[in-house]
Amino acid sequence: MPSILEIANLHVSIGEKEIVKGLSLTIKSGEIHAVMGPNGTGKSTLSKAIAGHPDYTVTGGDILLDGKSILQMEPDERARAGLFLAFQYPSEIPGVSIANFLRAAVQSHMGEGEELDATAYYKRLYQKMDLLKIDRKFTSRSVNEGFSGGEKKRCEILQMAMLEPKIAMMDETDSGLDIDALRIVSAGVNELRGPNLGVLLITHYQRLLNYIVPDYVHVMWDGRIVKSGDKSLALELESKGYDWVKKELVTA
Amino acid sequence: MQETDTTLLPADAATENPVVGIDQSAGNFSYDVKYEFDAGSGLSERVVEYISSVKKEAPWIREFRLNALKTFLSRPLPTHWATRDLETIDFSKIRYYLSSGQKPKRSWDEVPADIKRTFERLGIPEQERKFLAGVEAQFDSEAAYSNVKEAVSKQGVIFLNSSEALKEHPEIFRRWFGKVIPTGDNKFSALNSAVFSGGSFIYVPPGVKVAHPLQAYFRINAENFGQFERTLIIVDEGSEVTYMEGCTAPKFSTSTLHSAVVELVAMKGAKIQYITVQNWASNVFNLVTKRGLAHEASEIKWIDCNIGSRLTMKYPGVVLKGRKSRGEVISIALANDGQHQDTGAKMVHAADETTSNIIAKSISVGQGRSTYRGLVHIPKHLKGCKNNTECDALLINTNSRTDTYPAITVRGAANRSQHEASVSKVSEEQIFYMRQRGLTEGQAMSLSVNGFINDLARQFPMEYSVELKRLIDLEMEGSVG
């Protein structure tokens, strides 16, 4: 069943400070939306607020998943409803292996009374790891502990692959990656791309979009989307720079 | 002596208790048992004599008990360094001896049905019971069930409860009894020496490696009833044994006192591993003295996990008497609301080239308090001694508390010691990260805590590490609002 995430005139504050100031965006299954913009414009705040981070307060507007508001839902309820956030800075969980963490996460997505079948779980895990070209030994390591930037992002993509979300938000997935790591991670995302997944891709740089080609590009400035277009908008932005946004789009 | 007080103060004034409704139902049951012998409440010479006569003990034991009573009565509570909560123990209200009068059983079929039911509730799986090399399960003061597998006794291993061992093997018993931990070591070792009952006795003859761990399950089953086990394990030259001890206790409204004494003796080249997982009800005072004597090139390792109780004071120790002997303490403590885990280790180096290792991890939940006390002593005249001490504390809530009191005395240039300590708090970002993957806040906390102790938990035998994880899950269920 196709899904739809609707962000309607959303206002988000951290403490007293308003960061997102009336943002609207609709993402459907099968679509990749890139949100671009300079640092401090509210991109990460948008993704954290959608995921339900307790530090971010929604002061206006609504977020609907398949027509139903998620604002009253706990972060874990939102996750179980099919929202996934690939973190810019994923937390370390010392002493907890990726295999065990993922197992707990997969179990949490199952219905009450349903028991995870360990054999089937490992079979699926190894399948996804092969798909993402991840070494088998990787899953016995503690989650994100001592990982390189590339390993952290691959770990995020692996989790995304296992949890099969309806809508995935990817926050600066390209940050901290060298070109080889960027290629590998992007190839992973492209493997997961398909008619059942909608993606919100947050990035500062156009280069990620050479590897993950978006259907739509939105330019964010001061808590709002100021211009939307197709992938050519990203190239235009790249050549003209964010000054162009500031001068032409914001004042327009 | 270095002291650090690392209490994290509440972030705001609304310091309401974040830990409510902790599920301790795993230990919240008890069945009717008829007590054949009951020493009544309170402590006196008459009570001590009564215990000794019921047990039909030799005169030297009776004298030993009566002397211990005098020592106990003459000693003050150690409140000059320990918590004043000790003062709330009313020694006159405690019952010091109960017995169902049962002889230890040899086969499972002979075990009474209600006791079997208790075992079932404790969750000891059927195949585990069969797997156990020997079971010494203490039901109240006497062993209700004991089954030493033929293989073990064929090797010449003696595995009995202490009362039986006193009668059947007085020569071995008397040689080591009270030698590692003298009666007057502390007030509570004196109390135990006066009224001890039950506990295990193990003797492993030279050159015998006991393949399977020997186990004992302890359980308090009467209100106001203190348990005073006395365990003595002697492992002769070149032999090896692992002993496992686990406790869950029913929940009662009035305080109960548990004060055990455990003495280990490792002869030349012997290895002893002593494993404890305790989950006491939150009204139990658990004041235990545990120490091992390590002869030349022997190894003694304490793996100690304390969950529950109102107050636990326990510092397993090793006296490194022989050259190249090795002592180790692996300690895990979880202090939930209203609980104080005052735990640590003692390492007394008394010979050249001895090594000791202490790794202690504590978790404080809600208003729970954990205290680490460590004592390492390496005198100047020794050479080539090494100590490593690591203590890590994890705080779950903003009003959780931990204190560290490491006392490390290392004299002489030819000895080395290193000490590391850390205090961390479960971060909100980490919890959010896990919740974003679908875990509830409680599950996230639980996973985080299990991860914190994972490297130590792996040292437990499989069934214990599973039990430990289950206990932590139960404790953490109530830790979030």
How many CB atoms neighbour CB A108 within 10 A? 20
Q: Is the pLDDT of residue B143 over 80?
A: no
**B430 part of a folded domain:** no
Model pLDDT, residue B99: 61
CA distance A73 to chain B (A): 12
Is A140 at the interface with chain B, CB within 8 A?
Answer: no
The answer to whether A141 contacts chain B (CB < 8 Å) is no
A167, A27 Cβ separation under 8 angstroms: yes
Distance from CA of B293 to the nearest CA of A (A): 33
Q: What is the pLDDT of residue B380?
A: 93
Percent of chain B at pLDDT > 70 equals 75
Substitution target from A44, A48, A70, A96 for chain B, most B beta carbons within 10 A: A96
Provide the pLDDT confidence category of residue B16 given band limits of 50, 70 and 90: very low
Residues of A in contact with B444 (CB under 8 A): 76
User: What are the beta bridge partners of residue B139?
Assistant: B142, B219
Interface check for A121 against chain B (CB to CB < 8 A): the answer is no
Q: Examine residue B115 and state whether it is found in any structural domain, yes or no.
A: yes
> Could you tell me if A208 and A201 are in contact, meaning their C-beta atoms sit under 8 angstroms apart?
yes
Contact B438 A105 (CB under 8 A): yes
| Averaged confidence pLDDT in chain B | 80
B447 touches chain A (CB under 8 A): yes
Nearest CA in chain B to A169: B436
Per-residue model confidence (pLDDT) at position A33:
97
Residue B197 contacts residue B39 (beta carbons within 8 Å): no
**Residue A221 in domain:** yes
Cβ-based contacts of B443 with chain A (< 8 Å): 104, 108
- Report the number of distinct structural domains present in chain B: 1
Grouping H, G, I as helix, E, B as strand and the rest as coil, residue B209 is strand
DSSP SS3 for A180: helix
Q: Testing the interface with A: which of B433, B456, B468, B473 to mutate, by most A Cβ within 10 A?
A: B433
Structural domain span for residue A194: 4-90+166-250
B284 close contact with A: CB closer than 8 A: no
Any idea what DSSP says for residue B225?
B
Angle at A181 between CA A179 and CA A182, to 5 degrees: 60
Provide the residue range defining the domain that includes B85: 31-314
What is the structure's pLDDT at B279? 76
Q: Answer whether A105 sits within 8 Å of B437, measured CB to CB.
A: yes
> B454: nearest CA in chain A?
A95
Task: Name the 3-class secondary structure at A234.
Answer: helix
- Inter-chain residue contact A96 with B454, CB threshold 8 Å: yes
From B435, B450, B452, residue closest to A76, measured CB to CB: B435
Looking at the complex, report in whole angstroms how far the Cα of residue A140 sits from the nearest Cα belonging to chain B. Answer: 13
Q: Is the pLDDT of residue B273 over 50?
A: yes
Contact B226, B258 (CB under 8 A): yes
Question: Given the DSSP bridges, would you call strands A167-171 and A83-86 parallel, antiparallel or unpaired?
Answer: parallel
Query: Is residue B48 pLDDT above 90, yes or no?
Result: yes
What's phi and psi for A233, nearest 5 deg? -65, -35
The pLDDT-based confidence of B15 (bands split at 50, 70, 90) is very low
- Judged by a CB distance cut-off of 8 A, whether residue B409 touches chain A is no
Interface touch B433/A90, C-beta < 8 Å: yes
User: Residue B212: is its pLDDT beyond 90?
Assistant: no
- Side chain identity at B89, as an amino acid letter? I
- Given this model, what pLDDT does residue A146 score? 94
Out of B437, B441, B448, the one facing A79 most closely (by C-beta) is: B437
More confident residue, B404 or B357: B357
Answer yes or no: do A79 and B435 touch at CB < 8 A.
yes
Report how far apart, in Å, the C-alpha atoms of B18 and of each of B84, B176, B397 are.
25, 48, 8
Q: Which residue among B430, B439, B448 places its CB closest to the CB of A105?
A: B439
Asked if residue B242 lies in contact with residue B214, where contact means CB atoms within 8 angstroms, the answer is yes
Q: Which of residues 183-222 of A touch B (CB under 8 A)?
A: none
Segment B238-269, tens digit of pLDDT: 999 999 886 554 444 345 788 999 999 999 99
Tell me whether residue B242 is in a domain: yes
Q: Is residue B93 part of a domain?
A: yes
Residues of A in contact with B450 (CB under 8 A): 95-96
pLDDT tens digits for chain A (252 residues)?
799 999 999 999 999 999 999 999 999 999 999 999 988 899 999 999 999 999 999 999 999 999 999 999 999 999 999 999 999 999 999 999 999 999 999 999 998 888 889 899 999 999 999 988 888 899 999 999 999 998 999 999 999 999 999 999 999 988 888 888 899 889 989 999 999 999 999 998 888 999 999 999 999 999 999 999 999 999 998 888 888 887 877 665
User: Which residues is B230 bridged to in the sheet?
Assistant: B261
Question: Chain B contacts of A152, Cβ < 8 Å?
Answer: none
**For the ranges A64-78, B200-214, B273-287, which has the lowest average pLDDT?**
B273-287
pLDDT interval class at B204 (50, 70, 90): very high
Question: What is the pTM assigned to this prediction?
Answer: 0.81
Closest CA to B437 of A68, A110, A75: A75
Distance CA B4, CA B81 (A): 15
HSE toward the beta carbon, residue B401, CA cutoff 13 A = 16
Interface contact B311, partner A, CB < 8 A: no
| A185 within domain boundaries | yes
Chain A residues with beta carbon closer than 8 angstroms to that of B453: 95
Asked whether residue A155 is assigned to any structural domain, the reply reads: no
List the single residue in B with minimal CA-CA distance to A101.
B447
* Alpha-carbon distances, residue B178 vs A221, B306, B317 (angstroms): 78, 25, 15
Ramachandran category for residue B460: left, alpha or beta (phi over 0 → left; psi -120 to 50 → alpha):
beta
Please tell me which of the candidates A53, A54, A163 has its beta carbon nearest to residue B437: A163
DSSP letter assigned to residue A249: I
- Chain B residues whose CB is inside 8 A of the A74 CB are 435, 440-441
How many whole angstroms separate alpha carbon B402 and alpha carbon B369?
A: 6
B429 Cβ under 8 Å from any chain A Cβ = yes
Which residue in B435, B449, B466, B473 has the most chain A C-beta atoms within 10 A of its own C-beta, making it the best mutation to test that interface? B435
pLDDT in tens, B295-318: 999 999 999 999 888 999 999 999
Q: Is the pLDDT of residue B80 over 70?
A: yes
Nearest residue in chain A measured CA to CA from B432:
A53
Q: How far is A33 from chain B (nearest CA, A)?
A: 21
In the predicted model, is pLDDT for residue B20 greater than 50? no
Contact call for B438 and A109, based on CB within 8 A: yes
Q: A24: distance to nearest CA of chain B, Å?
A: 23
CATH number for the domain spanning A21: value is 3.40.50.300
Residue B75: closest CA among B176, B67, B92, B407: B67
Contacts of B455 in chain A (CB under 8 A): 95
What confidence tens digit (pLDDT) does each residue in B318-355 have? 999 999 999 999 999 999 999 999 999 999 999 999 99
Q: Look up residue A250 and give its two tokens.
A: 């914001």
Is B11 in CB contact (< 8 Å) with chain A?
A: no
Interface check for A53 against chain B (CB to CB < 8 A): the answer is: yes
Structure-block tokens of residue B71:
């020592």
Rounded to an integer, the average pLDDT of B360-376 is 93
Q: Cβ contacts (< 8 Å) between A92 and chain B: which residues?
A: 430
CB B184 within 8 A of CB B190: yes
Shortest Cα distance, chain A CAs vs residue B269, angstroms = 34
Residues in chain B closer than 8 A to A87 (CB atoms): 433, 436
The number of folded domains in chain A is 1
Looking at the domain assignment, is residue A102 inside a domain?
Answer: no
Please determine, for residue B149, whether its predicted confidence score (pLDDT) is greater than 60: no
Instruction: Say yes or no to pLDDT of B140 above 70.
Output: no
Give a yes or no: residue B159 inside a domain.
Answer: yes
> Which one of B432, B438, B451 has the shortest CB-CB distance to A108?
B438
What is the rounded average pLDDT of the residues B423-437?
93
Residues in A touching B452 (Cβ below 8 Å): 94-95
Instruction: Please report the pLDDT score of residue B240 as a whole number.
Output: 97
Confidence of residue B220 (pLDDT cuts 50, 70, 90): very low
A224, part of any domain: yes
Nearest beta carbon to residue B432 from set A53, A80, A95: A53
- The size of the A-B interface in CB pairs under 8 A is 79
Neighbour-count burial of B412, counting CB atoms closer than 10 A to its CB (0-12 exposed, 13-18 middle, 19+ buried): middle
Q: How many CB atoms lie within 10 A of CB A222?
A: 16
∠ CA(B373), CA(B379), CA(B385), 5° rounding? 85
The tokens 């409440």 sit on which residue?
A: B41
Closest-CA distance, B302 to chain A, in angstroms, reads 22
Test mutation, B422, B437, B440, chain A, max A CBs within 10 A? B437
- Judge whether B176 lies within some domain: yes
Asked if B439 lies within 8 A of A51 by C-beta distance, the reply is no
pLDDT tens profile A37-91: 988 899 999 999 999 999 999 999 999 999 999 999 999 999 999 999 999 999 9
